[in-house]
């Protein structure tokens, strides 16, 4: 992970990124700048176009680390921009959009053309916009809209800016790394790499205090047993591990330390993560923290994560609300499946299975009675069920009123 500082839409922003993190993911995940759309993720469709140091850039093929210190403007940052407002009105007037998926990238590229083009004719506009694909409109309205904005501005004696204000040659964002982050905070040391070996028990997990998870999110669930009973159960590491689909322990855990493995299958890729974790518990606040790291040798992937939990009384003390905060970093081959939106949905399914198993266990069931205890976690099927769930919801919304 590397700490970077950028100026995004006029505000200093810092964050930790993997070398492989592209700028679009950095903007969309965690910063919620979802106006930057992802289409092809190959630098072909232009949906992800944003301004980096004033120059249109495909954020799906720009590495976030390469833009350290750069000034970023996304479509959200152009809300009050005069040219973009004129383009929005022209796009509306000329019916230059249908689904709108390409529109943010179109507007960013079109704005650049409006700035630098003296008097573009249709051919020039088609050539200049050829890096932005639209599957809906047929382009006619888009070309007319851009042409009308250029003509209107030149008619108002607003001159074209040669080169669109570009001041340097070379990839946008490069060469802009500042000595200090844009927010003035000191740079952090790079975090230590994940654990190399987890099976001997000789090397204990050293937790780097500067490590920041790449992704964090919350999950809550209710267990229909009183808080004290759930708290005591959470202290029995072996029983808790048995409730997690695909997980098993290596050796004998202590209340503070555990080693284990979890089998994960994502599509055609099957991985077995082995690692260790440190456990902290605070009875006065009914809260705890599990900090772990592991490697999957065969898929050359590594993960580290922290799970914090707090038990809260619910339903007049008859039940317990378990509030969980999960933070993780996933690197290597499996990282491509680590997008927060997918992982959160998978985590929701996992949590549901865990909660169900926890209740069964609290109700006196044995490990053999628990679901998916030894079969391994098939994230592929979980993702499939998530997608299926989303489709069902979509169909319900579209056709529910007619059925
Ligand atoms: S998503 Fe970046 S060019 Fe298509
Ligand atoms: S309006 Fe749908 S892709 Fe362009």
Closest-approaching ligand to the CA atom of 50: 1
pLDDT band of residue 166 (cuts 50, 70, 90) is: low
Same domain, 291 and 169: no
Same domain, 317 and 382: yes
pLDDT band of residue 248 (cuts 50, 70, 90) is: confident
pLDDT at residue 107 in the model: 98
d(CA 156, CA 162): 18
Q: Which atom of ligand 1 is nearest to the CA of 24?
A: 2
Long-range CB contacts (within 8 A, 24+) of 64-67: 64/4, 64/15, 64/17, 64/21, 64/22, 64/23, 64/25, 64/26, 65/2, 65/4, 65/17, 65/19, 65/21, 66/171, 66/173, 66/174, 67/4, 67/6, 67/23, 67/172, 67/173, 67/176
In a domain, 210, yes or no: no
In a domain, 86, yes or no: yes
Same domain, 260 and 180: no
Please name the helix (run of DSSP H) or strand (run of DSSP E) that holds residue 295, with its range, or none: strand 287-296
- DSSP secondary structure string, 88-122? HHHHHHTT--SS-SSHHHHHHHHHHHHHH-SS--H
pLDDT at residue 350 in the model: 73
Kindly state if the Cβ of 324 falls inside 6 Å of ligand 2.
no
12/241: higher pLDDT: 12
pLDDT at residue 184 in the model: 45
Residue 111 CA to ligand 2 centre (angstroms): 17
pLDDT at residue 200 in the model: 41
Q: Which atom of ligand 1 is nearest to the CA of 133?
A: 4
Same domain, 183 and 230: no
Same domain, 253 and 161: no
Question: Does residue 394 register a pLDDT over 60?
Answer: no
pTM above 0.75, yes or no: no
Q: What is the DSSP letter of 164?
A: G
Atom 2 of ligand 2, residue of closest alpha carbon:
99
pLDDT at residue 72 in the model: 94
In a domain, 310, yes or no: yes
CA nearest neighbour of 125 among 133, 113, 134: 113
Residue 363 CA to ligand 1 centre (angstroms): 51
Same domain, 383 and 234: yes
Kindly state if the Cβ of 45 falls inside 6 Å of ligand 2.
no
Question: Does residue 342 register a pLDDT over 80?
Answer: no
Same domain, 178 and 246: no
In a domain, 199, yes or no: no
pLDDT digits (tens, 9 = 90+) for 10-60: 999 999 898 889 999 999 987 999 999 999 998 999 999 999 988 899 999
Same domain, 328 and 382: yes
pLDDT band of residue 386 (cuts 50, 70, 90) is: very low
Among 190, 206, 234, where does a domain finish? 190
Q: Which CATH number do you get for residue 306? A: 3.30.530.20
pLDDT, average across residues 374-391: 49
pLDDT at residue 59 in the model: 95
Q: Which CATH number do you get for residue 18? A: 3.10.20.30
Kindly state if the Cβ of 60 falls inside 6 Å of ligand 1.
yes
pLDDT at residue 256 in the model: 87
Kindly state if the Cβ of 198 falls inside 6 Å of ligand 2.
no
303/197: higher pLDDT: 303
Q: What is the DSSP letter of 305?
A: E
**What residues have CB less than 8 Å from 292, skipping those under 6 apart?**
205, 275, 276, 277, 278, 304, 305, 306, 307
pLDDT, average across residues 332-343: 63
Kindly state if the Cβ of 137 falls inside 6 Å of ligand 2.
yes
Question: Does residue 271 register a pLDDT over 80?
Answer: no
193/131: higher pLDDT: 131
Q: What is the DSSP letter of 161?
A: P
* Most confident segment among 135-139, 216-220, 253-257, 272-276: 135-139
Residue 133 CA to ligand 1 centre (angstroms): 9
Is residue 77 within 8 A of residue 200, CB to CB? The reply is no
Residue 51 CA to ligand 1 centre (angstroms): 14
Question: Does residue 203 register a pLDDT over 70?
Answer: no
Closest-approaching ligand to the CA atom of 39: 1
pLDDT digits (tens, 9 = 90+) for 98-116: 999 999 999 999 999 999 8
Is residue 74 within 8 A of residue 33, CB to CB? The reply is yes
pLDDT at residue 273 in the model: 78
| Count of the separate structural domains present in the chain | 2
Residue 138 CA to ligand 2 centre (angstroms): 9
Ligand 2: residue of 38, 75, 103 to mutate (most ligand atoms within 8 A of CB) is: 103
In a domain, 301, yes or no: yes
| pLDDT mean across residues, the chain | 79
Is residue 56 within 8 A of residue 165, CB to CB? The reply is no
Same domain, 320 and 391: yes
In a domain, 127, yes or no: yes
Among 132, 155, 190, where does a domain finish? 190
In a domain, 180, yes or no: yes
Is residue 83 within 8 A of residue 150, CB to CB? The reply is no
3 state DSSP class of 222: strand
- Tokens 């992800």 found at: 48
Residue 124 CA to ligand 1 centre (angstroms): 22
pLDDT at residue 188 in the model: 37
Domain that holds residue 33: 1-190
Same domain, 262 and 127: no
Same domain, 225 and 158: no
Same domain, 114 and 226: no
pLDDT digits (tens, 9 = 90+) for 176-201: 534 344 444 443 333 333 333 334 44
In a domain, 198, yes or no: no
């Amino acid at each position: 992970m590397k700490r970077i500082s950028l100026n995004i839409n006029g505000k200093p922003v810092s964050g930790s990124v993997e070398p492989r993190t592209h700028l679009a993911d950095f903007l969309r995940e965690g910063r919620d700048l979802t106006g930057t759309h992802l289409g092809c993720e190959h630098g072909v469709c232009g949906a992800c176009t944003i301004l980096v140091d004033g120059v249109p850039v495909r954020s799906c093929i720009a590495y976030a680390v390469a833009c350290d210190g750069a000034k970023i403007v996304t479509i959200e940052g152009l809300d009050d921009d005069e040219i973009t407002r004129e383009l929005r009105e022209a796009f509306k007037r000329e019916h230059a959009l249908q689904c709108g998926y390409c529109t943010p990238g179109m507007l960013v590229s079109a704005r650049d053309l409006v700035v630098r083009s003296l008097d573009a004719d249709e051919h020039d506009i088609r050539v200049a916009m050829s890096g932005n694909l639209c599957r809906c409109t047929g382009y006619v309205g888009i070309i007319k809209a851009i042409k009308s904005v250029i003509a209107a501005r030149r008619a108002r004696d607003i001159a074209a800016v040669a080169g669109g204000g570009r001041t340097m040659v070379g990839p946008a964002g490069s060469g802009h790394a500042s000595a200090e982050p844009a927010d003035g905070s000191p740079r952090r040391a790079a975090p230590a790499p994940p654990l190399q070996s987890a099976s001997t028990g000789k090397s204990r997990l050293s937790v780097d205090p500067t490590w920041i998870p790449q992704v964090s999110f919350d999950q809550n669930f209710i267990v229909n047993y009183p808080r004290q009973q759930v708290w005591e159960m959470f202290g029995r590491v072996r029983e808790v591990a048995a409730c997690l689909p695909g997980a098993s322990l290596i050796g004998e855990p202590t209340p503070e330390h555990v080693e284990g493995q979890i089998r994960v299958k994502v599509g055609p890729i099957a991985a077995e993560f082995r690692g260790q974790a440190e456990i902290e518990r605070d009875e006065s606040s009914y809260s705890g923290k599990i900090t772990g790291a592991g490697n999957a040798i065969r898929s050359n992937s590594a993960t580290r994560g922290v799970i914090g939990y707090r038990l809260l009384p619910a339903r007049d003390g008859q039940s317990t609300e378990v509030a969980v905060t999960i933070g993780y970093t996933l690197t290597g081959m499996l990282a491509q499946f680590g997008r927060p939106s997918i992982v959160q949905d998978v985590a929701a399914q996992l949590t549901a299975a865990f909660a169900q198993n926890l209740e069964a266990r609290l109700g006196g069931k044995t490990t053999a009675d628990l679901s998916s205890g030894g079969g391994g976690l098939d994230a592929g099927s979980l993702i499939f069920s998530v997608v299926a769930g989303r489709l069902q919801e979509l169909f319900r919304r579209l056709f529910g009123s007619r059925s």
